[in-house]
Amino acid sequence: MNMMKNIIKQFTIEGVVEEIRPLGAGHINDSYFVLTTGTSPNYVLQRINHSIFKDVDALQNNIQRVTQHIRKKLVEQGESDIDRKVLTPIKTSNGTLYHQTPEGEYWRVMLHINNSKSVDDISPELALVAGEAFGNFQAMLADLPQPPLVETIPNFHNIEVRLEAFHEATKQDLAKRAEGTKELITELKKRAEEMCRAEQLYREGKLTKRINHCDTKVNNILFDENNKVLCVVDLDTVMPGFVLSDFGDFMRTGANNGKEDDENLDNVFFRMDIFETYAKGYLQTARDFLTPIEVELLPFGAKLLTYMQAIRFLTDYLNGDTYYKTRYPEHNLQRTKAQFKLLQSMEENYTQMCQLIESL
Ligand code: GN1
Ligand code: MG
């Protein structure tokens, strides 16, 4: 606590810090809520996971460019209450976007968005506005001036690279867990070729890359008291990619009836009602820039991102849990099982999903 009070002092914040407490449930960075006295703004303090985000400078620079660009758009649109509609990074007294401690830790601060909430259980009505919000996010960033954003994690959503890492993990079997997961490994390998379709289309010049959020989990949208979307958060992975990523990752989280790591797999199945309204909302704000093939591939995107997440969780399990924070020894395995169950449920609904997109 004292250590964190010292860190927050490095940043140009207003007011007097009253309390610092843990915040949120991210798997990568550590987040804290910084409460100040009186009417001064509150803040979010984060320790950046530097073993995952190796180039913190580039990371913070991306976020600065993205938030400034969105802010400019909001001003032009005559929006009010802009500090609640886009993240505001806070600089250190040296003018830098992060603070490095003598121990080599990296910390950053942003304004906390007051009276906001994230939801894990979404309704069709919320899915509609969430779809609009993520479509709008892509639309606003479509004309971000050059140079391109840095890939903060190279090949982040490249399934071919993820599969290589997976195959390597099954071979090396560092944690001696391959035998116990044989069936899952076989099931996932069966689908590998199909899942490389987007990368293949990209190589053939038929599918383009745009700026994506690349972590459109349902809880990365903040809503206000009246369930209006305020803002998209967690901008660490905003980078060029397929729009399938953002559409798919929302489906993976928002349209899952269960939890990402649900211990009861009966809870885990794909919700067509969420798919339908999210797709409607998304197409409303994104239709202008999407190409026909991007639209056609949206249902595939849902499968792809769910599959990719299963591969990533299982790879981490096989490697001995070095990437994701885990709460118990088999956590990554449970996550894999839940993602795989969701994938199977999407497979069952696939024809219907495609028909729906066509009808929209
Ligand atoms: C990680 O930390 P969080 O929850 O924002 C991960 C995402 C995964 C997600 C799975 C940088 O996101 O890619 O989809 O966990 N972020 C990184 O819940 O790897
Ligand atoms: Mg994230």
The protein residue whose alpha carbon is closest to atom 19 in ligand 1 is 28
Bond from prior residue into 41 cis (ω within 30 degrees of 0): no
Q: Are 224 and 166 in contact (CB under 8 A)?
A: no
pTM listed for this prediction: 0.95
Q: Which ligand is nearest to the CA of 25?
A: 1
Task: Give me the pLDDT at residue 24, please.
Answer: 82
Tens-digit pLDDT profile for residues 103-119: 999 999 999 999 999 98
Atom of ligand 1 nearest to the CA of 52: 11
For 199-205, which contacts have Cβ atoms below 8 Å and span 24 or more sequence positions? 199/158, 199/159, 199/160, 201/293, 201/297, 202/242
Tens-digit pLDDT profile for residues 145-169: 999 999 999 999 999 999 999 999 9
What is the distance in A from the centroid of ligand 2 to the CA of 78? 29
Quote the CA–CA distance of 232 and 219 in Å, as a whole number. Answer: 9
What is the distance in A from the centroid of ligand 2 to the CA of 273? 26
Percent of the chain past pLDDT 70, that is, above it, reads 100
What is the distance in A from the centroid of ligand 1 to the CA of 179? 27
- Tokens 């944690």, residue located: 175
Atom of ligand 1 nearest to the CA of 237: 11
Ligand 1: list residues with CB < 6 Å. 26-28, 52, 153, 215, 234, 236-237, 260, 309
What is the distance in A from the centroid of ligand 1 to the CA of 144? 24
Tens-digit pLDDT profile for residues 332-342: 999 999 999 99
Percent of the chain past pLDDT 90, that is, above it, reads 96
Report residue 165 as tokens: 């890492």
3-state SS, one letter per residue, for the chain: CHHHHHHHCCECCCCCEEEEEECCCCCCCEEEEEEECCCCCCEEEEEECCCCCCCHHHHHHHHHHHHHHHHHHHHHCCCCCHHHCCCCEECECCCCCCEECCCCCEEEEEECCCCCECCCCCCHHHHHHHHHHHHHHHHHHCCCCCCCCCCCCCCCCCHHHHHHHHHHHHHHCCCCCCHHHHHHHHHHHHCHHHHCHHHHHHHCCCCCCEEECCCCCHHHEEECCCCCEEEECCCCCCEEECHHHHHHHHHHHHCECCCCCCCCHHHCCECHHHHHHHHHHHHHHHCCCCCHHHHHCHHHHHHHHHHHHHHHHHHHHHCCCCCCCCCCCCHHHHHHHHHHHHHHHHHHHHHHHHHHHHHC
Atom of ligand 1 nearest to the CA of 305: 14
Q: Is the pLDDT of residue 31 over 90?
A: yes
Quote the CA–CA distance of 68 and 78 in Å, as a whole number. Answer: 15
Tens-digit pLDDT profile for residues 191-216: 999 999 999 999 999 999 999 999 99
If we measure between CA atoms, which residue out of 245, 249, 261 comes closest to residue 221? Answer: 249
Q: Which ligand is nearest to the CA of 28?
A: 1
Q: Which ligand is nearest to the CA of 156?
A: 1
Task: Give me the pLDDT at residue 152, please.
Answer: 96
Tens-digit pLDDT profile for residues 5-24: 999 999 999 999 999 999 98
Tens-digit pLDDT profile for residues 263-321: 999 999 999 999 999 999 999 999 999 999 999 999 999 999 999 999 999 999 999 99
Q: 285 versus 26: which is more confidently predicted?
A: 285
What is the distance in A from the centroid of ligand 1 to the CA of 237? 9
